[in-house]
């Protein structure tokens, strides 16, 4: 009996020791992964600005040699912070991914789409490049127009396959904006610069007489979602935007930095340490657009889907909906079954809920079937969905392009879609 009790006690002790060891191993692995991400982040920043980095290291070494370690350490911290601050643009914006993105921009005719090549000046004089893809002239003034804001990598031509789907399934015009410093647009990208570019593009749409200016949709994916939220949060544009569609975007750059590096302490870093902030979580409280659709891919491994849930919860819109796709990744949610049909149904409901002054019917009205709701679509749905003519909010009076029976647009001559590097 004594031997049996001793064996049981020894087994319990051994099990307890194994649990403690497993706990410490997991903590070590997490810490190691976080340190690796931090080192890669700092190394990337130093490589982006090697001349300034070399000067800072030399200055630190010189001060250490002359005055001692404390002053050199303080200068090293200051120099590192400065380098990261000034290289943040290079870490956030990737207009040269792939490497030919600043030279070769695929054009809509490669995808069978008619278009106008447009150049206009932003609010600070920077020349911007845009594509305006318009439905046939007979009914282009009777359909909605989408202002398309893309993510942080590549150029607008890399999104043409997705835009072809919007054009064919939603029966809409599309204005594609190339941010400053991207594609054939001039300038250097920055948070303020992208904001001015989006305003210039919307002002351009409002100046056209051949479209329905009462049905302008602002669509933003990833970084484009942050630009779209900034645009919609400005009081002067609240009544100019009919619908806002946000796809796989983030709450803020500080939040994304904490996610990518895995360091929660970054939440406590002062805001002045960030050159680009994109504070979408706080800005969305000021969005007065009546209809807002949040499209979230639950398989997104870059931007946590919870950020879309948080933005949806904070949005004060009278008609908002969170649409989730189980198999949707960060850059390919638009390929999910039912994607275009879901967007079309949301726009149909938005149109039905409108009152003569252009605003939406309050949520306590009888028409509340999809207001303030969350819908999750499973990948087990059929891969093709036929949208009846009577359900499409995009169908104008008169003849139009042939109806598509599938939500997916198959185009052979397509350039690889670059993945967003950070957001």
Q: Which residues are catalytic?
A: 222, 300, 330
Return the residue matching tokens 């939040």. 255
Dihedral in degrees, nearest 10, Cα atoms 262, 263, 264, 268: -140
For 335-369, give one letter per residue: b (16+ CB within 10 A) or e. Answer: bbbbbbbbbbbbbbbbeebbeeeeebbeeeeeeee
Q: How far is CA 174 from CA 177, 202, 219, 371, 415, in A?
A: 10, 12, 10, 26, 19
Residues 6+ apart with CB under 8 A from 341: 169, 385, 387, 407
Task: Quickly count: other Cβ atoms within 10 Å of residue 219's Cβ.
Answer: 25
Give, as one character, the DSSP assignment of residue 276: -
Query: From CA 367, how far away is CA 390, in angstroms rounded?
Result: 18
Distance CA 400, CA 143 (A): 11
Burial of 387 (0-12, 13-18, 19+ CB in 10 A): buried
Helix (H) / strand (E) element for 258: namely helix 253-261
HEC string of 148-206? EECCCECCHHHHHHHHHHHHHHCCCEEEEEECCCCCCCCCCCCHHHHHHHHHHHHHHHH
- Measuring CA to CA, how many Å separate 53 from each of 50, 69, 211? 5, 19, 51
* Long-range pairs of 396-403 with CB within 8 A, sequence gap ≥ 24: 396/135, 396/139, 396/142, 396/143, 396/171, 397/139, 397/142, 398/138, 398/139, 399/138, 400/135, 400/136, 400/139, 400/171, 401/135, 401/136, 401/168, 401/171
What is the rounded distance in angstroms from the CA atom of residue 247 to the CA atom of residue 342? 13
Burial of residue 118 (number of CB atoms within 10 Å: 0-12, 13-18, 19+): middle
């Amino acid at each position: 009996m004594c031997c049996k009790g001793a064996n049981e006690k020894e087994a319990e002790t051994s099990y307890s020791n194994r649990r403690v060891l497993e706990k410490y191993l997991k903590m070590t692995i997490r810490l190691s992964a976080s340190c690796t991400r931090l080192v890669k982040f700092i190394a990337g920043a130093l490589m982006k600005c090697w001349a300034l980095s070399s000067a800072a290291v030399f200055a630190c070494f010189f001060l250490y040699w002359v005055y001692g370690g404390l002053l050199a350490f303080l200068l090293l911290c200051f120099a590192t912070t400065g380098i990261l601050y000034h290289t943040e643009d290079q870490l956030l914006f990737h207009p040269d991914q792939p490497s030919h993105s600043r030279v070769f921009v695929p054009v809509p005719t490669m995808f069978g789409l008619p278009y106008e090549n447009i150049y206009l000046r932003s609010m600070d004089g920077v020349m911007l490049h845009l594509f305006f893809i318009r439905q046939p002239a007979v009914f282009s003034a009777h359909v909605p127009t989408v202002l398309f804001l893309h993510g942080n990598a590549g150029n607008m031509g890399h999104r043409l396959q997705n835009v072809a789907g919007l054009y064919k399934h939603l029966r809409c015009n599309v204005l594609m904006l190339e941010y400053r410093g991207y594609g054939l647009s001039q300038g250097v990208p920055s948070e303020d610069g992208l904001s001015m570019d989006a305003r210039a593009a919307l002002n351009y749409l409002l100046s056209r007489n051949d479209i329905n200016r009462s049905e302008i949709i602002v669509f933003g994916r990833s970084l484009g979602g942050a630009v779209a939220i900034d645009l919609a949060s400005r009081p002067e544009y609240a009544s100019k935007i009919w619908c806002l569609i946000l796809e796989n975007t983030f709450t803020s750059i500080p939040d994304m930095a904490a996610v990518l590096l895995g360091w929660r302490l970054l939440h406590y870093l002062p805001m002045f340490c960030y050159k680009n902030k994109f504070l979408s979580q706080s800005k969305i409280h000021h969005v007065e657009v009546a209809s807002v659709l949040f499209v979230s891919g639950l398989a997104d491994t870059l931007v946590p889907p919870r950020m879309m849930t948080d933005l949806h919860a904070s949005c004060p819109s009278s008609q908002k909906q969170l649409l989730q796709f189980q198999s949707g990744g960060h850059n390919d949610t638009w390929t999910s079954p039912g994607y275009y049909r879901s967007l079309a149904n949301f726009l149909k409901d938005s149109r039905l809920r409108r009152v003569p002054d252009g605003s939406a019917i309050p949520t306590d009205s009888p028409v509340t079937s999809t207001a303030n709701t969350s819908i999750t679509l499973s990948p087990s749905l059929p891969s093709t969905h036929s949208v009846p003519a009577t359900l499409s909010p995009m169908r104008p009076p008169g003849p139009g392009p042939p109806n598509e029976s599938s939500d997916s647009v198959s185009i052979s001559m397509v350039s690889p879609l670059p993945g967003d590097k950070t957001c």
